[in-house]
Amino acid sequence: MPPPPSLRCWAEINLSHLAFNLRRFRSLVGRNCDVIGVVKADAYGHGLFAIAQRLAREGVKTLAVANITEAAIASRAAPRADILLLSPLLPAEISQLQTRWIPTVSSLTEFYALKRSAQRSRTKLRVHVKLDTGMGRLGGFSDEILKVLQLIAESRWITATGLYSHFASADVDRAETLRQVGRLRAFCRHGRAKGITIPPLHFQNSAGAIHVDARGLATSIRPGLSLYGVPTPAAAWRRCFGPNALKPVLAWKTRVALVRNMPGGSTISYANTFRASKPMRVAVLAAGYADGLSRKLSNRGEVLIHGKRCKILGRVTMDMTMVDVTRVPRAKWNDEAVLIGKGAGDEITAHEMAKWSETNAYEILCNISRRVTRSTIG
C-alpha cells in the first residue's frame, strides 16, 4: 500500500519480516531456548510499541529495554510479557518498578537497595544478575556476583530468575567470545561447587547466536539488531542460511521536494563544499539531519530514485538534502527517494549507510528521528 501523500519522510516497518527473522533465531537455537526480544532504543529506531506488540503476538515472553520509560511502553504493548531492564536503575527509579518488570543487578549495592525497597513495600521482586566476563561495562566480577546470588538465595523478598553476561566483540573476534563463554562456564562450576544455585543463563546477542553454540548451557538468547533484519556479521548469516538469511524490517524513504537545473559552476549547500563542473539536474529531498541523516553523508552518501543511485551533493542540511539526478531524467517533484531499502533492483542497506557515515548500523537506525513517521505493514 502506498504511503499517504502527506508524508515527507517515513519509515516502513514490515512486521511480517520481523516474524520471519524471529523464526530464524528459533530454528538456530532449538525448542529448549527462549528468545528475549530486545526492544530498547525505540526497538532500534523501528518503533517500540508496534514491535513489542508483534513479538508478544509471536509468543515472545520476555522483552528487554534500557530503562523504565521504555518498560512502561513495552508493558502497554505487551501486558503479559516480562520486561527485563538491561540498564542499572537509579535510586529514585526503584520505587517505580511494576510487577512484571525485572531489574538487572550487577552489585551488592543494587541488591541491598532493591531488598530495602521490597521490604518496605512488602513486594517480592524478580531480578536478573549480571556477570562481567569481559565487556567492562555492567556486571560484577565473580566473587561479588557469587555473594549476590548467595544473599538472594537467603532472601524472602528477592528471587533471581536469570543470570547473564554480554559479549564485547562477538561480531569481530570469535576467539575472545569463546573465552568469555569459558569464563561464564568456570563461574557456574565454581558457584555450584560452593553450593550456590545458578539461575537460568542467557548471554548470546545477535552475533553470539550465530557464532556460539550454547545448547545445553543457555536457556535464552537476546538478539538485537539481527532480529530487525540487519545481520551481524552478515557473512556468517549467509553461510548459515543463504543470501536471504534475514529480511530487513525497516525501509526509510523521503520525497523529492524540488528539481532544479543547475548551470556549471554552481555551488550547492553550506560552505560551498560542492561545485558543479558542468550543468546538472539536482533534486532537493525533504529530509536532513533533523530526520536522522548524518552530516557525514555530505558529498559521499547515495540514495535511490527510480532504482538509480544518486549521489548526495554538498552538505546535508537540517531539513533538506541535495542529490544528483542528472542520470535520472524521470525524476520529478514528489517522487520517492529511498534512503535505506530496496528500489527497482538495487538496495541501500543500513550497513552501507553506516560505512559512509563512519559509524555502525546500530547508530544509523537509532538516529532516525521521531519526526520520521513509522508506518507498519504486514
User: Residue 197 carries which DSSP code?
Assistant: P
Burial of residue 167 (CB within 10 Å: 0-12, 13-18, 19+) is buried
At CA 91, angle to CA 85 and CA 96, rounded to 5? 60
20 phi/psi in degrees, rounded to 5: -60, -45
Are the C-beta atoms of residues 55 and 73 closer than 8 Å to each other?
no
Q: Is residue 56 classed as helix, strand or coil in its secondary structure?
A: helix
Nearest of 12, 19, 14, 26 to residue 241 by alpha carbon: 26
* C-alpha span between 122 and 114 (Å, rounded): 12
Burial of residue 110 (CB within 10 Å: 0-12, 13-18, 19+) is buried
Pairing of strands 101-105, 125-130: parallel
Pairing of strands 201-202, 218-221: parallel
Are the C-beta atoms of residues 377 and 15 closer than 8 Å to each other?
yes
Distances (CA, A) of 23 to 30, 80, 112, 214, 223: 10, 21, 39, 18, 12
Residue 52: count of CB within 10 angstroms of its CB: 25
- The grid coordinates listed for 313 are 551533493
Active site residue ranges: 40, 270
Are the C-beta atoms of residues 12 and 377 closer than 8 Å to each other?
yes
* C-alpha span between 378 and 362 (Å, rounded): 23
Q: Is 278 left (phi over 0), alpha (psi -120 to 50) or beta?
A: beta
